Amino acid sequence: MDFSVLLSVYRKEKPEYLKQSLDSILAQTVPPTEIVMVEDGPLTPELDAVLAEYKKDPRWKAVLLPQNMGLGKALNEGLKACSYDLVARMDTDDIALPDRFEKQAAAFSADPELGLCGGQAAEFRQTPGDAAARKEVPLEDAEIRKYARRRNPFNHPTVMYRKSAVLEAGSYQHAMWFEDYYLWARMLAKGCKCRNLPDALIWFRAGDDMFGRRGGWKYAKSAVSVKYKLWRLGVSSFGDFVISAGGQAAVALMPSGMRRRFYEKFLRKDGASGHGQKGAD
């Protein structure tokens, strides 16, 4: 089954993380047919040096943007360059488990109506495999639709989707920090069939800076704006909007240390035992 992998990199990312991410793609049991890398504005010499090693691969396709446009716009440009209808997303600081693409390709092969397929994410702080936590999302279409009313039902770096379904929903649109959630909501509103696999598909890099990014007035304002859009789409009810927007805004305005503890206690499962609260952002 032919498919593209879509990534975007910008100058503030770490070269060693980028290399780990790309190596995990090349080590897949079912390798991609094409690798589309968006260079979102000029990069550092160190990042350029890493990419130079991989650009020799005949599957490589580079999309060069003259200035930094942000993730959503960068992915839209990359999506246009993808040659195949099946597209796997990957972030340049995460690490794919070796059989990630094999499992997702099998899901699409088994169900021609499937439009979007994600999976679970195993978080780590220092070394992949240290099992800091597990970010879980619901599995079947009906559960996903119910969950989406208040929370993001997909781990964005784990998804594989049909390019045609994404384009039909209007592709990525402006919703700062929430471009993916807003896209999934529009795909659900269009009737796109979705699922998540029960397996962890990536090692997701989590640190204190991640919890710091998910706070502040701008983040809270964007969260409320997106939840309002979901209500207007009919994906959620007004009650869902009030509860979820209010709750997320309150968490965003917590001190960073308190917010980190809240995420770890209520929105993650323990990575080692698998016990604890189920949740996602």
Give pLDDT, residue 281: 62
What is the crossing angle of helices 256-266 and 238-252, to 10°?
Answer: 130
What pTM does this model have? 0.89
DSSP string, the chain: ---EEEEEE-TTS-HHHHHHHHHHHHT-SS--SEEEEEEES---HHHHHHHHHHTTSTTEEEEEESS---HHHHHHHHHHH--SSEEEE--TT-EE-TTHHHHHHHHHHH-TTEEEEEEEEEEESSSTTS--EEE----SHHHHHHHHTTS--S-GGG-EEEHHHHHHTTSS---TT-HHHHHHHHHHHTT-EEEEEEEEEEEEE--HHHHHHT-SHHHHHHHHHHHHHHHHHTSS-HHHHHHHHHHHHHHHTS-HHHHHHHHHHHS-EETTT--B-----
Contacts of 220 (CB under 8 A, 6+ apart): 248, 249, 252, 253
Torsion over CA: 243, 231, 136, 263 (sign) = negative
Give pLDDT, residue 116: 98
Give pLDDT, residue 248: 86
- Of 129, 128, 111, the C-alpha closest to 16 is 128
Q: Beta strands 193-205 and 160-162: pairing type?
A: unpaired
Q: What's the Rg (C-alpha) of the chain? A: 18
Give pLDDT, residue 268: 59
Give pLDDT, residue 272: 42
Domains of the chain: 4-206 (3.90.550.10), 208-268 (no CATH)
pLDDT of the chain, 281 residues: tens digit per residue:
999 999 999 999 999 999 999 999 999 999 999 999 999 999 999 999 999 999 999 999 999 999 999 999 999 999 999 999 999 999 999 999 999 999 999 999 999 999 999 999 998 877 777 766 788 999 999 999 999 999 999 999 999 999 999 999 999 999 989 999 999 999 999 999 999 999 999 999 876 565 556 678 899 999 999 999 999 999 999 999 999 999 888 888 887 677 767 666 666 565 543 433 333 46
Give pLDDT, residue 276: 35
Residue 44 tokens, joined: 């550092």
